[in-house]
Amino acid sequence: MSAPAPRGVLAALRWACLRDLRLAMRSRGELALIVVFFLLVTSLFPLAVSPDPELLRTIAAGIVWVAALLASLLGLARLFAADHGDGTLEQMVLAPAPLPALVAGKVLAHWIATGLPLVLLAPLAGLQFGLGAESIGVLLVSLALGTPVLSWLGALAAALTLGARGGSSLLALLVLPLAVPVLIFGAGSVESQAAGLGADAHLSLLAAGAIAAWVLGPAATALAVRIAHE
């Protein structure tokens, strides 16, 4: 680490977030790969399936959400691996700063660098499938609520597989089944809105999941990091 981590919870979270954002800016190619992958997946599906506008609108939310999940997996393996390899993670574990706050800062930085761009690109993906303005708005909100949950699931899986052989494959096997409810509620919110039933129920469940992830995620992931360190 370039400087010792501060002791306070908010100060430690801010320090870890800014540090990881600076590191992410040094590897812009990896960030661009995630965005390009998301755009390619969402752009190729309309070309590969029937050009029927009704069919495209029906499958739009599911495809966008699956593309967002797969794109987020691309950067998860390096969430703790680089710090583990150069000894920084060990210093974080031994530092007087609260480890859950440091972990939360890293996950927040990961979401800002990889999840937020996908949320901002959601309207473009929705337009490709012919979604209306209200459906695009719901898609945007659902991704904003659901992608942090995916980041926390990935962070926990990355910590559990830290140092294991084939860690990237194990990470995907752990995250994909756990992400199914997020995909169901995320895609279901857009479908319910399009059907005139309203998306409040699905979005409320996503919001509850996001709150639970931010409340429980730091402690659970920090425990997994400590176990990997030991």
* Tens-digit pLDDT profile for residues 62-92: 899 999 998 888 878 778 877 777 778 888 8
Helix segments in 77-179, DSSP class H: 78-86, 88-94, 99-110, 116-128, 133-160, 167-178
How many other C-beta atoms are found inside a 10 Å radius of the C-beta of residue 197?
Answer: 12
DSSP one-letter string for 169-182: HHHHHHHHHHTHHH
Is 160 a residue whose pLDDT tops 70?
Answer: yes
SS3 81: helix
Indicate whether this model's pTM tops 0.75: yes
Tokens of 56: 């495209």
Inter-CA distances, 24 with 6, 63, 192, Å:
21, 27, 37
Tokens of 45: 């599906």
Is 142 a residue whose pLDDT tops 60?
Answer: yes
At residue 1, the pLDDT reads 45
Is 4 a residue whose pLDDT tops 60?
Answer: no
Contacts of 112 (CB under 8 A, 6+ apart): 17, 21
Which residue has 């690109």 as its token pair? 121
Tokens of 26: 């040094």
